[in-house]
Amino acid sequence: MLPTLDKRGPLPLYHQLKAFIEERIGSGLWKPGDQLPSERQLCEQFQVSRITVRQAVTDLVSAGSLVRDQGRGTFVAPARVEQRLNQLTSFTQDIQARGKRPGAQVLQFETIPAPAPVARLLRLRAEEPVILLKRLRLTDGEPMAVETTHLPLALCPDLVHETLANASLYELLSRKFHVIPFRAEQQMSAAGCPPAEARLLRVPKGSPVLHIYRTTFTEAGVPFEQVESYYRGDKYVFNAELYAKASGRRIGAEGSSRS
């Protein structure tokens, strides 16, 4: 039987269509490189307008689940390999995926008025309360990164009562506060390690580090964390997998092959 959308339900149709596509991808039925049915086919299959189909597909393209190839169609995005630069992970997941033991030492954990640049990035009013969390991140017990995080107090009011030593902030935010990381904007540059961070990372000051700014958003587009971090340049590698084009296997086409 063909899948249908609940036209009288509270969830917008594009949302339901998105969930349907995500489910197909998540279950492995639609594989990386598979071509999606055309807009017209999706409209017919689900009895919805082109606008609905476009909105669902555009959202999934922005989320990185689908890729558009001008003139050829829309495809399931290439499989994500661990620690691709365009995959949003927590430090804990990142380090575990490398087969190592993540850790965290809390250096500062308090509520402060948001400094102006932080307020701007988190879309808060000037001096609105934020939680300041500074952590030394460890890999197999060795210092790897210093992270200074700001989170709007209103989104996670009791966070300061939680224990974050050797714990995952993202896991805690998701489980206790239903703040689920969805997307991040990140800037990375090479830098010489400032003296305070160098002491913490146990490297000579001025050693090469990756200096990273990240603002992380929920699926609803709410920025919930602003982070500045220094990662040891001698110990940490960001892997990126880069594709020129989506490979073109068409969903449902029997005996199809990659081109």
Tell whether residue 214 is a contact of ligand 16G (CB under 6 A).
yes
Strands 249-250 and 34-35: parallel
Minimum CB distance to ligand 16G, residue 21 (Å): 27
How far is Cα 93 from Cα 65, in angstroms, rounded to an integer? 20
Residues 6+ apart with CB under 8 A from 51: none
Our CB check for ligand 16G shows the closer of 127 and 185 to be 185
Tell whether residue 226 is a contact of ligand 16G (CB under 6 A).
no
The only residue of 169, 198, 200, 209 in contact with ligand 16G, by rule CB under 6 A: 169
The only residue of 14, 46, 91, 230 in contact with ligand 16G, by rule CB under 6 A: 91
Our CB check for ligand 16G shows the closer of 20 and 217 to be 217
| Angle subtended by helix axes 39-46 and 13-26, to nearest 10 | 110
Tell whether residue 170 is a contact of ligand 16G (CB under 6 A).
yes
Which one of 5-13, 105-113, 124-132, 163-171 is the stretch in contact with ligand 16G (CB under 6 A)?
163-171
Tell whether residue 168 is a contact of ligand 16G (CB under 6 A).
yes
Tell whether residue 146 is a contact of ligand 16G (CB under 6 A).
no
Contacts 24+ apart (CB under 8 A), 241-246: 241/78, 241/80, 241/81, 241/84, 243/78, 245/69, 246/33, 246/67, 246/69, 246/72, 246/75, 246/77, 246/78
At residue 49, φ and ψ (nearest 5 deg) are: -80, 165
> Taken in order 8, 13, 19, 23, is the CA torsion positive or negative?
positive
Our CB check for ligand 16G shows the closer of 169 and 209 to be 169
| Two structure tokens written together for 244 | 């020129």
Our CB check for ligand 16G shows the closer of 156 and 212 to be 212
Phi-psi region of 44 (alpha: psi -120 to 50; beta: other; left: phi over 0): alpha
Which one of 50-58, 76-84, 212-220, 250-258 is the stretch in contact with ligand 16G (CB under 6 A)?
212-220
* Helix, coil or strand: residue 22: helix
Our CB check for ligand 16G shows the closer of 68 and 134 to be 134
Tell whether residue 174 is a contact of ligand 16G (CB under 6 A).
no
Residues 8-67 that bind ligand 16G (CB under 6 A): none
Q: Minimal CA–CA distance to 144: which of 87, 179, 193?
A: 193
How far is Cα 33 from Cα 253, in angstroms, rounded to an integer? 13
Minimum CB distance to ligand 16G, residue 163 (Å): 12
Our CB check for ligand 16G shows the closer of 16 and 139 to be 139
- The DSSP secondary-structure symbol of 251 reads T
Contact pattern from residue 102 through residue 131 relative to ligand 16G, giving x for each residue in contact according to CB under 6 A and a dash for the rest: ------------------------------
* Residues in contact with ligand 16G by the rule CB under 6 A: 90-92, 147, 149, 168-171, 212, 214, 216, 225, 227, 229
